[in-house]
C-alpha cells in the first residue's frame, strides 16, 4: 500500500516537472517582461526622437561609464537575499563628503578621485555597519527599511554638511563654503576633476568617445564580483540569501554575513559615486545622492534582474536600455505632444513604474510557488481514482 | 575559530591601512592643484622695473595653448603638482619674430592661486619678483546668501518638493 | 501574575518607557523644551500655539487616513499619494466646473469621491495580491501614480484661466491659488480670535467629526472585523471573515480620507500644489501617527491626535525657537531626522500577533 | 553484551521535564561501535526529546536542561550546542530538510565546511575571503556519496531533486564529516519510495560495517527488524523494552508501543458505544477529501460522522489527521465532497462552514485560535458576532451594527465562570494567559457560536493535567447536554479512548480504519503504522 502511494507521488512529481519544461518558452517571456517592454519603448521612441546613431552610441557609452559602477554595487546585497539596497545612497553621501574635502583641499584630477575614494571608505563602512544592523533588526522588511534609512541618514548628512562643515569641521575656500560662514554651497564645482578618468586612455572612433579607463575600472569590479562569488564569503552569502535558518544551522554567522554584504555594497556605491560625479563635473551637494539609488535600481531591474536574482549581464543590459529610454524619451515626448516636459515626466514615470512592476512580480511569484503543491495533490487524487 | 584574527592577519591589515594612508598622502602631494595666473604686465621689484611688457605672449601648458596675452592681459590655467612647466612664445613687438622660452619652476605647496608675472620671469628676476599669491578680491563675497535647496529631484533638473 | 501588584516605582517607570518607546519620549521632551524655551527667546507663544493648532487642522485628516490600513494589517500607507491625487482631481475639477467659495470645497469632496473609490479599489486589489510586501510596493505605487499624473496635469484639457499656464493657455500650473474658491473654507468658519491667538473652529470641528466617524466605525461589526484582520489574519479567516474584502475596504477608506485630507490641507494652506508636490506627502503623515504611539499594526484615534500635535508642534516651533537660540535654522534637518528616525524605529520593532 | 569494554555511547538515567511535565524518566541504553539501534514509540513517547538532548539542541537548555549522564567512549559529555555534538562525532539527519534550495548536492554536503584556498586578499580580510576549492569539494562529496552507497548526482541542484535524493544529500552531508562516529536518523524513510528506502537500509548496513553506530528512528517496524541489531521501544517517557531485533516481531513491538492492557481502556465510553452507533443517522459525510496542509497532507479520505457522537481521530504525527478538520473548515486548500445535514458544504470557504453551524477549535492556538493582542471578550465574542450577528445593537434600521460591549462582557463572564478560566478580568489580553486557559478561551469561542457540530483539534496539547481534565470534561458535557456532534483529533490515543465513542485512525493521509473506543490497543497500534510512509 505504502509502496504504491510513494511511487505515484514520485510520478506526479516528475510529470509536474515535465509540464514546467513545456512552458519554458512562455516562462522565459514572462520572466523577461520588463526588458522586452523596454526594447519596445526604445524601438518606438528612437525613430521619433530623430537622434543620429553616433549621438546615441556616444551618449550611451558616456552614461554607461557614469552609472555602471553604481549599479554593480547592488549585486552583493541581492546575493545575500536582502533585496534591492535602497541604502546605497549612504555610500553616495560618503563619497560626496570625500569630494567636498578634496575640493576644499584643492586636490585635482585622478589623485583627487583616489583621495575622495579613500576618504569615503571609513565613512561608507560606518554607515554600512549602521544600515546592516538596522536591517538585521527589520528582517523581512529590508527594502522599506533601507529606503527609510536613506532618508534618515540624509538628514544626518545635511546636519553635517549644512551646519557642521565650516563651523566645526574646517572648510577653507569660499568657493565651497556658503557666504554665511558655515555650510556647503548648493553646488560644488568639480571642474578640475571633470571627466579626468573618462579622458584617460580615451579612444575616439568616428566621433564616438570611448572612456577606456573608466571601462577598465568597471571591468575590474566585475572581475572582483565574479571572483567574490567563488570565495567562502560569497558562498556563505548565497546560502544566507536562500535560506537563513539552514545557513545558521550549518554554522554560518548569518547576521554578520548580512552586515558585510551591506557594508561592501555601501563602499562600492561610494566609489561608484565618485566616478559618477567626475563625469558630471559638479556636485549638487544636497540632491546628487537623493535619486541615485532609485535610478540605479530601476536600471538594474530593466536589465531583467529581480529582487532575489541579478547578474552582471543584467547590469549592462539594464544600463543600456534604461539610459537609451532616458535619452530618447524627452525628445520623442516633445515631438509627439509638443511639450518638452511630457517626456521628462514620462521617463520618471517609467523608472518608478519599472520598480513597481518588478516588486509586484517578485511578491506574486513568491505566492504562486506556495500554491503549486495543491495542484499536485489534486492531480494525484485523480491519478488515484 | 573561523573568524579569529591572527597576529599575521592583523599585521596584514595594518599594512593595508598604512598602504591606503600612504596612497592618500601621495595623492595629497601629487594631486595638489594650483591655479596659475599669467600676467603680461608692467612690474617693478627691488628697484628694477619693466615698463614695456612684450606685445604678445602665448602660453602653452602640456602642448596646449592656455593663454594668448597681449600687453596688460592676464590669463590662467590649472596645474596639478608643484613642478610647473610651460612654454612661452614671445612676440616682442607687433610683427616681430617669435621667441620660444621653456620654463620650469616650483610652486609653493600651500598657495592655491599663483600669479606669475611673465615679463619679470623672463627678465630673470628672483622668485619673489615674479611670483605672488593670488588673493581673491573680497568684493566677491557679497552678503546675498544663497538659498539652500535640499529637496531637488537630483538627476537632470527635475524638481520635486520633498515633504510639503 | 501576582507580581504585577508589587511592582516598584522604578519598574513602573521602566515599563512606561518600554511601552511608550524611547524615541517618542525624546520627541515629546524636545517639544516640551521648545515650548518652555519659547518665551525666553522672545518667540510669541500665542502665535506659536495658534500656528500649531492651525497646522494640526491642516494635517490631521491626512494622518487619520493611516488608521484603517494599519487596522487591517496592510501596514503604513506609504501609498497615500494615490488618495491625494484623487483629492487633487476633485479640487481642480471643482474649480474647472465653476464652483466658487465654500461650495467649491464640498463640490471637490464629492467629485474626488468616485476617483478615490476607483483608485482605492484598484490599489486594494493589488495589495491583496502581494500580502507581506505592502509597504514597499505602496511606496512605489504612490511614486508611479504621482509621476503619471504629472503628465496628466499637462495633458488633461483644463481651461479655467485661474489654473492653466497664462502663456500657452493649457496645462495646469504648479501652484494654484485658492483665493475666491475654498481658501479658509473651514478654518475661517466660526474662527475665534483673541489678540494673536486664533482658533480655526470650523476646521477643528471638521476634524473632530471625521475622527468621531472613524472611532464609531471601529465600534461597528465591520470595524471590529477590520481590527481582527489586522491583529491576526488567520484568526479572522477561521472566523469566516473575508480577509481580502476587509483589507480592500480599509484601503478604499484610507484613500478616500487621503483625498479629503489634502482638500482640508489646501483650504488652510490656500493653494493647490500639483506635479511632484504629493510625492513625499505620505512620510510626514506616517511619522506623525508613529510619533503618536501607533505601531505598524496598531493605531488609535488618540495616536492620530497626539502624533499630529507633536509632529506639527515641532515643525512650527523649531524654526523660530532654534533660530533665536543658536542662530541657525536647523528645523528642516531636525524634522527629517526625527520623523525618519521614528519610522525606522517602528519598522525595527517586532510586530506581535499574526504575521500577514 | 560484555561489560568489559566501554561502549561508544552510554545513556545513564536521563530525566527531562518541561515545566513540571515529566517527558523522560530514567532512560538507560548503550550503543556499540558499528551497531544499529532501532527506536520506536508513539508520538509523544519521548523519542524526539531524547534525540534533542543527545544532539545538544538549544531547546533543552532553554527549558532547564536535563538530568543524568551521556557518556561517549566512557567519557561524560555535555553539549551546549549542536556544534559541540557535531565536533564530538555525532551527526543527525532531521525530519525537516535542512538544505539550501539553490545549491547543488556537493555544495550542500560541504556547506560551511568547504575546502578552501588561501589568497593575498584573505590574509587581509580574513579566511572568509579564501576561494573555494571546487575540485577538492567534488572529490570529497563524491567520497561521501560513495560511503553512503546510494548514487545521487552531486551536481544536481536541490530544488530539482526528487524528495528522496534530498534525504540522501542530508545523509551524505553527515557522512562527509570525518569525525562522525554516531549517526542519528530521524524517520529518514518517511519521504522515500520503497526502492529508495531499501537502498537506505543497505547503506545503513554499510555504514555499520565501517564502524559507524546508527540510531534509527522510524514508524516502519519491518525496517527496524531488517536492519537493526537492537530495538528500543519507548512509551510515555520510559524505555519499555530494549531487545535484540532478531528476538522479536512487528506484533510484539506494536503491543509494547501502544502498551496498556486491553481491559482498563475505554472505561466509561464503552457503555455508550455499544448502543451501536451505526444505527444513528449520519450528520456529516466526507468523500474523497484531499487537503494540502504542509506536513499533514490528506489523501482521499472517506468518513462518516454520526449525529450526537464523539468521534476521535487519531494517528501518528504527520500522517494527516490534522489536515482533515483544517481542510473541511476551509483553512487549507482542499478538494472532495463534504455533506453536512444533507447539504453539501463548499470547501475552501470558512464562512460557509460556520454558517452551516460548524465550529472548529484549531490546534494552532496562538496562530489561528486567538487574537493574542486583544481582550478575552473580543476573542470569545468575535466569531459569534461576525457570523450570527450576536452581541450587536442595531441603529438606523440595521444600517449601523454597533458592538454591544455589555452583552459581550456578559457572555465572556459566563464562560469564564463555566470553564474556570483564570484571568484578572475579561478585558485581559489573551497573550497574558497560560496555555491551558488560552485553550479554554478557544473552547468558549466555539461554544459561543452554539454550533451543531464541533471539530476540536489537539485540545490538550501543551497544557497541564488539571486543565486537560477540565477541557475534556467540558467537551463531554457539551456533547451530552447540548447534543452537539464532536469530532476530536488528538495524538494521544488514551485521551481519545477516554472521551470518544468511535476512533478513526489516520495513516499515510488516509483513514486506516475505525474502531470502537473499547477495542484493544494493539489493534489501534497496527492501524497507526499500517500506511506509514
A31 in helix, strand or coil?
helix
Residue D139 sits at φ, ψ, to 5 deg, of -60, -45
Listed residue (C282, C345, C284, C279) closest to C311, CA to CA:
C284
B121 pLDDT more than 80: yes
- Give the Cα separation of D223 and D218 in Å (integer): 8
Q: Are A304 and A96 in contact (CB under 8 A)?
A: no
- Which residues from chain D sit within 8 angstroms of residue C235, using beta carbons? 368-371, 382
**Structural domain includes residue B42:** yes
Among D111, D119, D127, most B C-beta atoms within 10 A, so best to mutate, is: D127
Name the E strands within A40-83.
Answer: none
DSSP characters over D197-266: HHHHHHHHHHHHHTT-EEEEE-S-HHHHHHH-SEEEEEETTEEEEEEEGGG--HHHHHHHHH-S-STTSS
Between these two residues, D149 and C255, which has the higher pLDDT value? Answer: C255
Same domain, B59 and B11: no
Listed residue (D495, D219, D273, D460) closest to D363, CA to CA:
D460
CB contact under 8 A, D194 and A384: no
A287 in helix, strand or coil?
coil
What are the distances in angstroms from CA A69 to CA A343, B145, C43? 27, 36, 50
- Give the Cα separation of C258 and C277 in Å (integer): 14
Q: How confident is the model at residue B123 (pLDDT cuts 50, 70, 90)?
A: confident
> For residue D515, with 0-12 CB atoms within 10 Å meaning exposed, 13-18 middle and 19 or more buried, which class applies?
buried
Q: Are C261 and C62 in contact (CB under 8 A)?
A: yes
CB contact under 8 A, A118 and B144: no
Same domain, B65 and B20: no
- Give the Cα separation of C154 and C168 in Å (integer): 11
Chain C 286-315, residues with CB within 8 Å of chain D CB atoms? 298
How many separate domains does chain B show? Answer: 2
Q: Which domain holds residue B132?
A: 33-137
Report all structural domains of chain D as residue ranges with CATH numbers, in order of start: 1-89+179-259 (3.40.50.300), 101-178 (no CATH), 269-357+451-530 (3.40.50.300)
**Contact status of D194 with chain A (Cβ, < 8 Å):** yes
CB atoms near residue C269 (< 10 Å): 19
pTM for this entry: 0.85
CB contact under 8 A, A339 and C154: yes
Q: Are C197 and C224 in contact (CB under 8 A)?
A: no
- Which residues from chain A sit within 8 angstroms of residue D103, using beta carbons? 238-239, 242
CB contact under 8 A, D288 and A381: yes
What are the distances in angstroms from CA C346 to CA A86, B99, C230, C293? 18, 75, 16, 10
C73-107: b (≥16 Cβ within 10 Å) or e: bbbbbbbbbbbbbbbbbbbbbbbbeebeebebbeb
Q: How confident is the model at residue B164 (pLDDT cuts 50, 70, 90)?
A: very low
Listed residue (A374, D367, D331, D366) closest to C243, CA to CA:
D331
Strands D238-244, D182-186: pairing is unpaired
C329 to chain B: closest CA residue: B148
**Structural domain includes residue B57:** yes
Q: Are A263 and D128 in contact (CB under 8 A)?
A: no
Q: How confident is the model at residue C356 (pLDDT cuts 50, 70, 90)?
A: very low
Here the CATH number for the domain that contains residue B89 is 2.60.40
Same domain, B104 and B126: yes
- Which residues from chain A sit within 8 angstroms of residue D533, using beta carbons? 2, 5-6
CB contact under 8 A, A148 and C347: yes
- Number of C-alpha atoms within 13 angstroms, CB side, residue A141? 26
pLDDT reported for residue A262: 94
A114 in helix, strand or coil?
helix
The one-character DSSP state at D431 is G
**Contact status of B164 with chain C (Cβ, < 8 Å):** yes
- Which residues from chain B sit within 8 angstroms of residue C277, using beta carbons? 160-161, 164
CB atoms near residue D137 (< 10 Å): 21
pLDDT reported for residue C61: 92
CATH of domain A31-367: 1.10.3470
Contacts with A115 (C-beta within 8 Å, 6 or more apart), sequence order: A98, A102, A107, B24, B27, B28, B31
Same domain, B93 and B66: yes
Contacts with A269 (C-beta within 8 Å, 6 or more apart), sequence order: A70, A73, A88, A89, A90, A91, A92, A95, A124, A292
Name the one residue in this structure whose C-alpha cell is 483629492: C87
The one-character DSSP state at D19 is T
Q: What is the enclosing helix (H) or strand (E) of D27? A: strand D21-31
Region class of D361: left (phi > 0), else alpha (psi between -120 and 50), else beta: beta
Listed residue (D320, D315, D316, D314) closest to D334, CA to CA:
D320
Report the gap between the CA of B160 and the closest CA in chain C (Å).
5
Same domain, B26 and B99: no
Positions of chain D with pLDDT lower than 70, given as ranges: 1-4, 19-20, 43-44, 259-279, 531-533
CB contact under 8 A, D124 and B5: no
Strands D90-93, A282-284: pairing is unpaired
Same domain, B64 and B129: yes
Reading chain A (385 residues) residue by residue, the pLDDT tens digits are 333 333 333 333 333 444 444 567 777 777 788 888 888 888 888 888 888 888 899 989 999 999 999 999 999 999 998 988 988 999 999 999 999 999 999 888 899 999 999 999 999 999 999 999 999 998 888 888 998 899 899 999 999 998 889 888 998 888 888 888 888 888 898 888 888 888 888 888 888 889 999 999 999 999 999 999 989 999 999 999 998 989 988 889 999 999 999 999 999 999 999 999 999 888 988 888 888 888 899 899 888 888 888 999 999 999 999 998 888 888 888 888 777 778 888 888 888 888 888 888 888 877 777 666 666 666 666 665 5
Record the cell numbers describing residue D128, joined without a space: 572568509
- Which residues from chain C sit within 8 angstroms of residue D392, using beta carbons? 221
**Contact status of B17 with chain D (Cβ, < 8 Å):** no
What does the pLDDT look like over C3-60, one tens digit per residue? 444 557 777 777 777 777 777 788 888 888 888 887 787 777 888 888 888 889 889 9
- Which residues from chain D sit within 8 angstroms of residue A235, using beta carbons? 107, 114, 132
Same domain, B69 and B125: yes
CB contact under 8 A, D127 and B12: no
CB contact under 8 A, D100 and A247: yes
CB contact under 8 A, D402 and C220: yes
Same domain, B115 and B37: yes
Q: How confident is the model at residue B158 (pLDDT cuts 50, 70, 90)?
A: very low
As a residue count, chain A comes to: 385
- Give the Cα separation of C97 and C99 in Å (integer): 6
Q: Are A211 and A199 in contact (CB under 8 A)?
A: yes
Nearest to A363 among C130, C330, C344 (CB): C130
What are the distances in angstroms from CA C79 to CA B152, C244, C282, C298, D331? 21, 18, 7, 18, 30
**Structural domain includes residue B163:** no
Q: Are A279 and A66 in contact (CB under 8 A)?
A: yes
> For residue D461, with 0-12 CB atoms within 10 Å meaning exposed, 13-18 middle and 19 or more buried, which class applies?
middle
- Give the Cα separation of C246 and C227 in Å (integer): 10
ipTM value greater than 0.85: no
Q: Are A235 and D107 in contact (CB under 8 A)?
A: yes
Q: Residue ranges of the domains in chain A?
A: 31-367
Q: Are A333 and A344 in contact (CB under 8 A)?
A: yes
Between these two residues, D460 and C69, which has the higher pLDDT value? Answer: C69
What does the pLDDT look like over C262-278, one tens digit per residue? 999 988 888 888 888 88
B1 to chain D: closest CA residue: D127
The mean-pLDDT minimum among C143-157, C319-333, D448-462 falls in C319-333
CB contact under 8 A, A156 and C135: no
C249 in helix, strand or coil?
helix
Strands B83-91, D75-77: pairing is unpaired
pLDDT reported for residue A383: 61
A157 to chain C: closest CA residue: C333
Region class of A106: left (phi > 0), else alpha (psi between -120 and 50), else beta: left
Chain A 172-201, residues with CB within 8 Å of chain C CB atoms? 182
Nearest to D124 among B2, B3, B16 (CB): B16
- Give the Cα separation of A267 and A123 in Å (integer): 9
Listed residue (D233, D97, D224) closest to D163, CA to CA:
D97
Report the gap between the CA of A373 and the closest CA in chain D (Å).
7
C353 to chain D: closest CA residue: D372
What does the pLDDT look like over C289-311, one tens digit per residue? 888 888 888 888 988 998 898 88
pLDDT reported for residue B8: 81
Among D350, D363, D445, most C C-beta atoms within 10 A, so best to mutate, is: D350
CB contact under 8 A, C129 and A363: yes
Q: Are C62 and C258 in contact (CB under 8 A)?
A: yes
Between these two residues, A332 and C248, which has the higher pLDDT value? Answer: C248
Amino acid at each position: 500500500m505504502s509502496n504504491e502511494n510513494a511511487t505515484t507521488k514520485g510520478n506526479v512529481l516528475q510529470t509536474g516537472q515535465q509540464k514546467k519544461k513545456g512552458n519554458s518558452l512562455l516562462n522565459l517571456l514572462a520572466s523577461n517582461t520588463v526588458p522586452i517592454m523596454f526594447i519596445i519603448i526604445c524601438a518606438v521612441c528612437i525613430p521619433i526622437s530623430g537622434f543620429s546613431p553616433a549621438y546615441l552610441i556616444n551618449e550611451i557609452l558616456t552614461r554607461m561609464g557614469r552609472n555602471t559602477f553604481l549599479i554593480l554595487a547592488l549585486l552583493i546585497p541581492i546575493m545575500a537575499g536582502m533585496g534591492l539596497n535602497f541604502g546605497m545612497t549612504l555610500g553616495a553621501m560618503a563619497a560626496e563628503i570625500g569630494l567636498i574635502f578634496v575640493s576644499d583641499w584643492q586636490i585635482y584630477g585622478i589623485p583627487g578621485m583616489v583621495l575622495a575614494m579613500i576618504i569615503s571608505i571609513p565613512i561608507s563602512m560606518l554607515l554600512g555597519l549602521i544600515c546592516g544592523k538596522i536591517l538585521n533588526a527589520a528582517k523581512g522588511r529590508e527594502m522599506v527599511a533601507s529606503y527609510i534609512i536613506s532618508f534618515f541618514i540624509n538628514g544626518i548628512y545635511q546636519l553635517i554638511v549644512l551646519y557642521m562643515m565650516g563651523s566645526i569641521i574646517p572648510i577653507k575656500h569660499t568657493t565651497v563654503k556658503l557666504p554665511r560662514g558655515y555650510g556647503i554651497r548648493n553646488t560644488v564645482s568639480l571642474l578640475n576633476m571633470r571627466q579626468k578618468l573618462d579622458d584617460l586612455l580615451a579612444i575616439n572612433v568616428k566621433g564616438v568617445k570611448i572612456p577606456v579607463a573608466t571601462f577598465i575600472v568597471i571591468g575590474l569590479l566585475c572581475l572582483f564580483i565574479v571572483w567574490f562569488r567563488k570565495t567562502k564569503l560569497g558562498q556563505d552569502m548565497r546560502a544566507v540569501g536562500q535560506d537563513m535558518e539552514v545557513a545558521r544551522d550549518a554554522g554560518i554567522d548569518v547576521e554578520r554575513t548580512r552586515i558585510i554584504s551591506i557594508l561592501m555594497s555601501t563602499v562600492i556605491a561610494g566609489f561608484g559615486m565618485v566616478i559618477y560625479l567626475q563625469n558630471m563635473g559638479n556636485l549638487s551637494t544636497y540632491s546628487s545622492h537623493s535619486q541615485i539609488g532609485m535610478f540605479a535600481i530601476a536600471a538594474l531591474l530593466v536589465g531583467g534582474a529581480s529582487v532575489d536574482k541579478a547578474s552582471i549581464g543584467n547590469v549592462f543590459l539594464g544600463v543600456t536600455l534604461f539610459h537609451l529610454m532616458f535619452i530618447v524619451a524627452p525628445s520623442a515626448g516633445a515631438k509627439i505632444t509638443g511639450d518638452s516636459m511630457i517626456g521628462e515626466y514620462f521617463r520618471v514615470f517609467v523608472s518608478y513604474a519599472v520598480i513597481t512592476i518588478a516588486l509586484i512580480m517578485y511578491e506574486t511569484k513568491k505566492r504562486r510557488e506556495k500554491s503549486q503543491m495543491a495542484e499536485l495533490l489534486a492531480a494525484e487524487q485523480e491519478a488515484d481514482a | 575559530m573561523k573568524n579569529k584574527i591572527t597576529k599575521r592577519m592583523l599585521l596584514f591589515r595594518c599594512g593595508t591601512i598604512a598602504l591606503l594612508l600612504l596612497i592618500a598622502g601621495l595623492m595629497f602631494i601629487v594631486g595638489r592643484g594650483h591655479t596659475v595666473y599669467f600676467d603680461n604686465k608692467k612690474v617693478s621689484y627691488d628697484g628694477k622695473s619693466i615698463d614695456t611688457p612684450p606685445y604678445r605672449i602665448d602660453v602653452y601648458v602640456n602642448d596646449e595653448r592656455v593663454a594668448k596675452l597681449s600687453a596688460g592681459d592676464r590669463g590662467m590655467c590649472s596645474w596639478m603638482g608643484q613642478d610647473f612647466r610651460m612654454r612661452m612664445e614671445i612676440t616682442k613687438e607687433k610683427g616681430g619674430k617669435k621667441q620660444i622660452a621653456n620654463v620650469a619652476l616650483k610652486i609653493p605647496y600651500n598657495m592655491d592661486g599663483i600669479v606669475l608675472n611673465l615679463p619679470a620671469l623672463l627678465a630673470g628676476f628672483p622668485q619673489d619678483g615674479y611670483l605672488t599669491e593670488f588673493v581673491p578680491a573680497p568684493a566677491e563675497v557679497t552678503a546675498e546668501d544663497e538659498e539652500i535647496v535640499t529637496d531637488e529631484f537630483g538627476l537632470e533638473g527635475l524638481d520635486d518638493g520633498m515633504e510639503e | 501574575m501576582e507580581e504585577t501588584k508589587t511592582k516598584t516605582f522604578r519598574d513602573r517607570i521602566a515599563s512606561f518607557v518600554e511601552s511608550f518607546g524611547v524615541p517618542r519620549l525624546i520627541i515629546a521632551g524636545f517639544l516640551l523644551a521648545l515650548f518652555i524655551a519659547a518665551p525666553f527667546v522672545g518667540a510669541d507663544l500665542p502665535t506659536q500655539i495658534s500656528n500649531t493648532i492651525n497646522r494640526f487642522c491642516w494635517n490631521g485628516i491626512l494622518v487619520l487616513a493611516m488608521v484603517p490600513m494599519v487596522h487591517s494589517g496592510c501596514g503604513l500607507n506609504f501609498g497615500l499619494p494615490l488618495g491625494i491625487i484623487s483629492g487633487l482631481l476633485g479640487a481642480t475639477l471643482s474649480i474647472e466646473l465653476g464652483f466658487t467659495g465654500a461650495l467649491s470645497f464640498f463640490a471637490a469632496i464629492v467629485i474626488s469621491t468616485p476617483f478615490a473609490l476607483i483608485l482605492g479599489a484598484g490599489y486594494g486589489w493589488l495589495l491583496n495580491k502581494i500580502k507581506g510586501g505592502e509597504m514597499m510596493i505602496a511606496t512605489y505605487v504612490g511614486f508611479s501614480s504621482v509621476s503619471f499624473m504629472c503628465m496628466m496635469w499637462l495633458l488633461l484639457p483644463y481651461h479655467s484661466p485661474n489654473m492653466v499656464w497664462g502663456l500657452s493657455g493649457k496645462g495646469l500650473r504648479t501652484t494654484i491659488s485658492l483665493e475666491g474658491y475654498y481658501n479658509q473654507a473651514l478654518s475661517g468658519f466660526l474662527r475665534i480670535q483673541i489678540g494673536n491667538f486664533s482658533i480655526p473652529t470650523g476646521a477643528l470641528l471638521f476634524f473632530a467629526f471625521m475622527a468621531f466617524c472613524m472611532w464609531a466605525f471601529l465600534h461597528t461589526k465591520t470595524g471590529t472585523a477590520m481590527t481582527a484582520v489586522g491583529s491576526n489574519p488567520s484568526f479572522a479567516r477561521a472566523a469566516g471573515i473575508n480577509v481580502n474584502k476587509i483589507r480592500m475596504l480599509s484601503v478604499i477608506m484610507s484613500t478616500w480620507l487621503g483625498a479629503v485630507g489634502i482638500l482640508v490641507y489646501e483650504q488652510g494652506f490656500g493653494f493647490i500644489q500639483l506635479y511632484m508636490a504629493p510625492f513625499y506627502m505620505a512620510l510626514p503623515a506616517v511619522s506623525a501617527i508613529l510619533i503618536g504611539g501607533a505601531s505598524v499594526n496598531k493605531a488609535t484615534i488618540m495616536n492620530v491626535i497626539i502624533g499630529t500635535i507633536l509632529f506639527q508642534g515641532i515643525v512650527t516651533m523649531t524654526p523660530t525657537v532654534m533660530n533665536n537660540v543658536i542662530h541657525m535654522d536647523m528645523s528642516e534637518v531636525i524634522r527629517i531626522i526625527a520623523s525618519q528616525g521614528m519610522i525606522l524605529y517602528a519598522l525595527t520593532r517586532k510586530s506581535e500577533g499574526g504575521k500577514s | 553484551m560484555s561489560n568489559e569494554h566501554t561502549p561508544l555511547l552510554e545513556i545513564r538515567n536521563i530525566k527531562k521535564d518541561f515545566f513540571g511535565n515529566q517527558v523522560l524518566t530514567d532512560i538507560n541504553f548503550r550503543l556499540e561501535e558499528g551497531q544499529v539501534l532501532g527506536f520506536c514509540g508513539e508520538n509523544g513517547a519521548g523519542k524526539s526529546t531524547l534525540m534533542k538532548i543527545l544532539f545538544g539542541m538549544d531547546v533543552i537548555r532553554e527549558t532547564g536542561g536535563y538530568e543524568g549522564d551521556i557518556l561517549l567512549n566512557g567519557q561524560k559529555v555535555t553539549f551546549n550546542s549542536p556544534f559541540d555534538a557535531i565536533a564530538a562525532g555525532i551527526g543527525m539527519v532531521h525530519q525537516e530538510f535542512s538544505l539550501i534550495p539553490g545549491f547543488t548536492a556537493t555544495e550542500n554536503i560541504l556547506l560551511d565546511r568547504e575546502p578552501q584556498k588561501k589568497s593575498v586578499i584573505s590574509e587581509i580580510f580574513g579566511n572568509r575571503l579564501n576561494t573555494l576549492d571546487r575540485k577538492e569539494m567534488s572529490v570529497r562529496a563524491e567520497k561521501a556519496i560513495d560511503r553512503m552507497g546510494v548514487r545521487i548526482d552531486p551536481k544536481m541542484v536541490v530544488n530539482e531533486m526528487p524528495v528522496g535524493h534530498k534525504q540522501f544529500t542530508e545523509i551524505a552531508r553527515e557522512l562527509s564529516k570525518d569525525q562522525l562516529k554516531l549517526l542519528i536518523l530521524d524517520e529518514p524513510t518517511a519521504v522515500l519510495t520503497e526502492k529508495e528506502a531499501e537502498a537506505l537500509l543497505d547503506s545503513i548496513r554499510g555504514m555499520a560495517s565501517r564502524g559507524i553506530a546508527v540510531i534509527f528512528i522510524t514508524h516502519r517496524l519491518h525496517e527496524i527488524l531488517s536492519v537493526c541489531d537492537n530495538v528500543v521501544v519507548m512509551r510515555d517517557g520510559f524505555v519499555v523494552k530494549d531487545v535484540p531485533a532478531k528476538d522479536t516481531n512487528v506484533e510484539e513491538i506494536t503491543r509494547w508501543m501502544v502498551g496498556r492492557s486491553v481491559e482498563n481502556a475505554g472505561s466509561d465510553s464503552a457503555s455508550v458505544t455499544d448502543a451501536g452507533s451505526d444505527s444513528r443517522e449520519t450528520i456529516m459525510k466526507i468523500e474523497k477529501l484531499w487537503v494540502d496542509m504542509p506536513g499533514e497532507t490528506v489523501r482521499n479520505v472517506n468518513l462518516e460522522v454520526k449525529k450526537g457522537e464523539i468521534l476521535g481521530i487519531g494517528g501518528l504525527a504527520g500522517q494527516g489527521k490534522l489536515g482533515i478538520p483544517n481542510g473541511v473548515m476551509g483553512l487549507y486548500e482542499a478538494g472532495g465532497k463534504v455533506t453536512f445535514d444533507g447539504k453539501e458544504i463548499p470547501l475552501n470557504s470558512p464562512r460557509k462552514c460556520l454558517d452551516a453551524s460548524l465550529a472548529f477549535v484549531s490546534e494552532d492556538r496562538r496562530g489561528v485560535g486567538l487574537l493574542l493582542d486583544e481582550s478575552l471578550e473580543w476573542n470569545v465574542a468575535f466569531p459569534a458576532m461576525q457570523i450570527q450577528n450576536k452581541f450587536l445593537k442595531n441603529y438606523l434600521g440595521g444600517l449601523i451594527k454597533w458592538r454591544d460591549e455589555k452583552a459581550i462582557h456578559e457572555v465572556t463572564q459566563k464562560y469564564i465562570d463555566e470553564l474556570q478560566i483564570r484571568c484578572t478580568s475579561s478585558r485581559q489580553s489573551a497573550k497574558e494567559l497560560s496555555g491551558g486557559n488560552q485553550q479554554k478561551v478557544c473552547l468558549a469561542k466555539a461554544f459561543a457560536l452554539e454550533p451543531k457540530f464541533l471539530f476540536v483539534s489537539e485540545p490538550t496539547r501543551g497544557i497541564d493535567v488539571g486543565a486537560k481534565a477540565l477541557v475534556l470534561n467540558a467537551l463531554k458535557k457539551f456533547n451530552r447536554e447540548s447534543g452537539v456532534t464532536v469530532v476530536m483529533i488528538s495524538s494521544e490515543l488514551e485521551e481519545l479512548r477516554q472521551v470518544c465513542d468511535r476512533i478513526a485512525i489516520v495513516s499515510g493521509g488516509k483513514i486506516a480504519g475505525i474502531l470502537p473506543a473499547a477495542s484493544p490497543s494493539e489493534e489501534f497500534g497496527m492501524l497507526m503504522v499500517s500506511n506509514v510512509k
